[in-house]
A = this chain, B = another copy of it.
Amino acid sequence: MKQTILSTAIALISGLAITTAVQAAADEPIQPIKPPASINIGMVELGKKLYFDPRLSKSGIMSCNTCHNLSMGGTDNIPTSVGDKWQQGPINSPTVLNSSLNLAQFWDGRAADLKAQAGGPIANPGEMAFTHTLAINVLESIPAYVREFKLVFGKDKIDIDQVTLAIAEFEKTLVTPNSRFDQWLLGNKAALNKTELEGYALFKDSGCVACHNGEAVGGNSFQKMGLVEPYKTTATAEGRAGVTGKDADRFNFKVPTLRNVEMTYPYFHDGAANTLTEAVDIMGRLQLGKKFTKDENAKIVAFLKTLTGDQPTFTLPILPPSSDATPRPTPFK
């Protein structure tokens, strides 16, 4: 009986502590990452194979994972990507991690969601350089894929909507909960040290948080790159204006997520900033009109590194082999 009362008391106190922590988190401009809801596991497994399958490219050597490498923070860690025949991409590959939390996809938001995004690189002549029709021809020629698509979608024919839907479903699983910052938000006050907390205070007080907020610490608005001072770049990407046609949207880009930012270097749409120190300095001056001291900069960087969450953990998929009827890749044609 005494044990029961004690347990109840502990449960009540714990409940109170959790409620307080959750309230505290709700007061913060950043929210902890939640695991994805309503995932179709069969579709995820199919989408994972497709994400890793280079046969969706003309050359047969590029997959989604080439530029959004899940061993490296969902990016390729180079300024702009290498496309078919070693073409230089016009823009930095954004991380696929937590991309389900973005208000839209691509730096200019031209795709409404992950499904709409997934078909883009496959058919982009500067990226995977294939066509949707040819990609479907390849998949239709592989017996194990035909069976798996039928199992997942219940249809006799594979189409590009099924392909992009499956890839998007896999991508929804690529969230990174449990960062030290999220542990702190959820009430573990020992998760961050003094420097990191001071960095977070600076991040909020200096105004970084005006754009980098919410569950993804970004990804939920378009903003002008070079608000106070113009951003100098050789990149030709004009941002949101390419989608809206409005001159006012020139150099408006989707605010990138800062989740796992320690792993997603180099930074900005042109990948011009190699280090977090450099990125924080440029952001402070160009977006906020503020020159951070070396000490302030270091504290903000320390805070940013607490945003690295648990990376997606899964078995490397084994792809079903091509059949005699599968059209062969043409890397050198």
Residues of A at the B interface (CB closer than 8 Å) are 52-55, 59-61, 66, 69-73, 76-78, 82, 85-86, 88, 262-263, 265-266, 274-277, 311, 313-319, 321-322, 324, 328-329, 331-332
Contact = CB atoms under 8 A, between A and B. Distances in A.
Q: Is the interface of A mostly helix, strand, loop or mixed?
A: loop
A54 B277 CA distance: 24
A265 B54 contact: no
A331 B61 contact: no
Contact of A332 (B88, B274, B316): B88
29 contacts: A52-B71, A53-B71, A54-B69, A54-B76, A55-B77, A59-B82, A60-B76, A60-B77, A61-B66, A61-B76, A61-B78, A71-B317, A71-B318, A77-B329, A78-B329, A78-B331, A85-B86, A88-B331, A88-B332, A262-B321, A263-B321, A265-B321, A265-B322, A275-B324, A276-B324, A313-B316, A314-B315, A315-B315, A316-B316
Contacts of A329: 77-78
Query: Which A-B residue pairs are the 10 nearest by beta carbons?
Result: A86-B86, A275-B324, A311-B318, A263-B321, A71-B319, A316-B316, A60-B78, A52-B71, A85-B86, A82-B331
